[in-house]
Amino acid sequence: MSEVALRRLLFLILLALGLGLAALTRPLAPRVSLVLSPLTAPLPALGHRLGQNLRAGLAILTNRQDLYGENQALRAKVASLEAENRRLRLEVDRLSRALEVRRAQAPGVVAVARVVGEDLSGLYRRLVLDMGQRDGLRPGMPVTAPEGLVGLIVEVGERQALVRTLLDPESQVGVRPERSLGRGVARGAPPGHLVAEFPPTVKVAPGDLLLTGAPLGLFPDGIPVGRVERVERVQGGLKQRVWVRPLVELSLLEEVIVLKPL
């Protein structure tokens, strides 16, 4: 038998087998379809739902990124508002101190200046302010704080001024007791006191408050200066020497108030 005839015979055999199998399995086809249909039916719905969930997840992620950006912008705005609020509170505090000085000590407030330095060379006790001629400061202007007198401006530059404080040994302040008559002169006694001299007829005792008085005419009358700690009789009782603790703690000063000169 030739090769061509053999191939044709094999083809016919396979064709017959295929037709026979088809005839045998045709009655089972509906059953298989019924069994597989419930199993495969959820697959399209599951794919559709998965797509929806993916789209929703992407939308949420995009929204979260937008919210993060908005949150950062809001944080920056809150920080800016807080900084502005702090600045305004400091300004209100400065104005309040100036108003308190204007009410209680003297009407001529010129400026509120910051203390930017301190000269402690030798026995001198002087402060450096961050204002000068361009701000209207001049030598001879009294310097005070809400607690009491600080000193006197003695030198002025374009942008800074030098204050001779009460504790400076070259400082002299006319003083008087708050609750009795009489006047004296107080001088700086470093590192932390003033020494005032009064006539023996002036009633002054430890605990008394001393205010600025008129003898030297450098400061407005009635500014608190310090509180008496000790009283001594000197020169055979012809004078009273009074040790005074200033009300203002100079080393803690951050701002002072400059007054018009008399």
For 198-220, how does the pLDDT look when each residue is reduced to its tens digit (9 = 90+)?
Answer: 999 999 999 999 999 876 678 88
- What is the topology classification, in CATH, of domain 172-246? Thrombin, subunit H (2.40.10)
The overall average pLDDT reported for the chain is: 80
The tally of CA atoms less than 13 A away on the side-chain side of residue 58 is 5
pTM for the full predicted model: 0.60
* Nearest-5° Cα angle at 177, 173 to 181: 110
| 217 or 37: which leads in pLDDT | 217
- The letter for the amino acid at 194 is L
CB atoms within 10 A of CB 247: 19
- Better-predicted residue by pLDDT, 202 or 190: 202
Percent pLDDT > 90 in the chain is 40
Q: Three-class SS of residue 262?
A: coil
Which range has the top average pLDDT, 45-49, 92-96, 127-131?
127-131
Residue of 228 and 102 predicted with greater confidence: 228
- Across the range 84-102, mean pLDDT stands at 63
Which pLDDT belongs to residue 23?
Answer: 61
- β 209-212/109-119 pair status: unpaired
pLDDT-based confidence at residue 151 (cuts at 50, 70, 90): very high
For residues 154 and 163, is the Cβ–Cβ distance under 8 A? yes
Contacts of 23 (CB under 8 A, 6+ apart): none
Mean pLDDT, residues 32-57 taken together: 60
| Cα dihedral sign, 149-150-151-154 | negative
Q: Give the dihedral of Cα atoms 52, 55, 60, 65; nearest 10 deg.
A: 180
Specify which residues 152 forms β-bridges with.
Answer: 142, 164
Q: Is the predicted pLDDT of residue 222 greater than 80, yes or no?
A: yes
Quick one: pLDDT band at residue 262, thresholds 50, 70, 90?
Answer: confident
More confident residue, 241 or 55: 241
- Tell me the C-alpha distance between 49 and 40, whole Å: 15
**Residue 30: what pLDDT?**
52
If residue 127 lies in a helix (H) or strand (E), which one and from where to where?
Answer: strand 126-129
pLDDT at 24: 58
Q: Taking residues 184-193, report their average pLDDT.
A: 90
